[in-house]
Amino acid sequence: MRRRFRQGLQRALEFAVLGLTTALAVVVVLGVVFRKLGAALVWYDEVASILLAWLTFYGAALAALHRAHIGFPKLVDGLGPAYRRPLILLGEAFVLAFFLVTAWAGWRVFGILGGETLVSLPWVPQRLTQSVIPIGAVLFIIAELVSLPDVWAGPASHDDGVDPSEGEGVGLEGSA
């Protein structure tokens, strides 16, 4: 059951990340082409920045599912189960609390935004663009909970049906 749910969540987040990355490339290229043709797109910067924000939070949830966020696992992983497991729970509590507060804060802002719209595209409500914060935070919490049993089982455990190499490849330093 958990495995099927996890696979479904993974597919949905992968679809979002692939779509957003592709959309980002398309928007930037269109922006250059139209500017060079002397017909600059007024919405280009704003839409590209929004796509990046969306990629940040939906991609962060996918990274949470793979436990690929940058951290320092060496200390906790090196301990025996008697010490490791309470520390895992404590660490998880901080992560969940942070995203719960973020989801709450995002929801409050959602209410405050009212009928505000984008500057360059007045028909696009700010509520739509900023929905990524509460939704992304909730997705992060779900991803964290779904992948918790694998962390609980220990660093050598890969019984989740997910190729562990997928997680390895998404560590931070790909960006270096």
Give me the residues that bind another protein (CB under 8 A), please.
14, 17-18, 20-22, 24-25, 28-29, 31-32, 45, 48-53, 55-60, 62-63, 66, 68-77, 87-88, 90-91, 94-95, 97-99, 101-102, 104-106, 108-109, 112, 130, 132-134, 166, 168-176
Closest separation in Å from C-beta 166 to another protein: 8
Q: CB under 8 Å to 124, separation ≥6 — which residues?
A: 117, 118
CB nearer another protein, residue 9 or residue 62: 62
Per-residue exposure over 114-127, b if at least 16 CB sit within 10 Å of its own CB, e if not: eeeebeeeeebbbb
Q: Map tokens 């990046």 to a residue.
A: 52
Closest separation in Å from C-beta 1 to another protein: 25
CB nearer another protein, residue 1 or residue 92: 92
Closest separation in Å from C-beta 159 to another protein: 20
Closest separation in Å from C-beta 88 to another protein: 8
Q: Cα 108 vs. chain centroid, distance in angstroms? A: 20
CB nearer another protein, residue 1 or residue 19: 19
CB nearer another protein, residue 71 or residue 161: 71
CB nearer another protein, residue 75 or residue 156: 75
Which token pair is 20?
């957003």
- Per-residue CA distances from 56 to 40, 64, 108, 156 (Å): 26, 12, 20, 29
Measured distance CA(136)–CA(60) in Å, rounded:
8
